[in-house]
Amino acid sequence: MRAALAVLLAAVALPTFALPGAPGGGPQRSTLDPAVLRIDETRHLGTRIDPDLRLIDAEGRRFRLGDLYGKPLVLVLSYYGCDGACPALNGNLRQTIEAVRRYRIGSDYRVLTVSFDRHDTPARARAFVKRLGGMPPALSAGWRHAVLADPADIPRLTEAVGYRYFWSVQDRMFVHPNAYVFLSPEGRIVRYLYGLKIGPRDFELALVDAAWDRIASSGRVLDLLVGVCFSYSYADGRYVLNYPLFAGIGALALGIGLVVFSLTVFRRRRTGRIGHA
């Protein structure tokens, strides 16, 4: 029951949640405004995350965030004591990655799960990975689970991303948004995808967005076409066909077709008149 509640709260889909009781009374019910946890994308898109942030992964290896730059980076903010949304968020990402065929983790992009809980440690990160069923070599080559070496750096990371969260005393868990943050090879935020379930297509399209400059300059025509034909819908929280583009192309094609048809008819009539004369 607690795990289910965690999923609902973290997804910001529950209309009410319990708060500690007021003096002289039991727990009170209060309306949860989704805007409290909503990421202000217009403010944070394009922000470059500090590459000097120091981390320690589940194996105890120290590294800088900038060490993961140079390729698109998928950033997942979680906490390792979670028994609801965070395992689901990371588990779904694993399934999505395994279903992606066009890009390979490690060689084409990297993934970093990092905790925003100052009490988390590399050991707890290692236990979290174990609860997820371990990390096969194909994934571990490009996916790290880590904590910030200095807990004081947590606000630097979460504020740069626009990630808001709070601790629910009543439920003894963090309430937070579920988001995958896509960074460019230079470490700039280029896309947010939300929810506990994203498909391989949306994941691939977000990678195209993250690596657009690199892919465009390398002449990979398929990626250019994908980037043009699909656009991100903020209302739907997913990628959709670029219908205005197709409508414009259709109108242009129709106009060109009418011009060609008119010229053809005109020439045939002119040729017929000349032949008759």
pLDDT digits (tens, 9 = 90+) for 39-65: 888 888 999 999 999 999 999 999 999
Q: Which two tokens stand for residue 122?
A: 């590399």
pLDDT recorded at residue 85:
87
Q: Where are the domains positioned within the chain?
A: 2-239, 242-277
Task: Give the single-character DSSP code of 94.
Answer: H
pLDDT recorded at residue 218:
32
Residue 157 has pLDDT above 60, yes or no: yes
pLDDT recorded at residue 265:
64
- Sequence-separated contacts (24+) of 3-6 with Cβ below 8 Å: 3/83, 3/84, 4/84, 5/84, 5/171, 6/82, 6/83, 6/84, 6/85, 6/171, 6/173
Superfamily of domain 2-239: Glutaredoxin (3.40.30.10)
| pLDDT band, residue 247 (cuts 50/70/90) | low
What global pTM score does this model have? 0.68
Question: Are 41 and 177 a contacting pair, CB within 8 Å?
Answer: no
- Residue-wise pLDDT for 74-94, tens only, equals 999 999 999 888 999 999 999
Query: In the chain, what percentage of residues exceed pLDDT 90?
Result: 44
pLDDT recorded at residue 273:
57
Residue 180 to residue 85: CA distance in whole angstroms = 13
pLDDT recorded at residue 184:
95
User: What does the mean pLDDT of the chain come to?
Assistant: 76
Q: Which two tokens stand for residue 77?
A: 């903010």
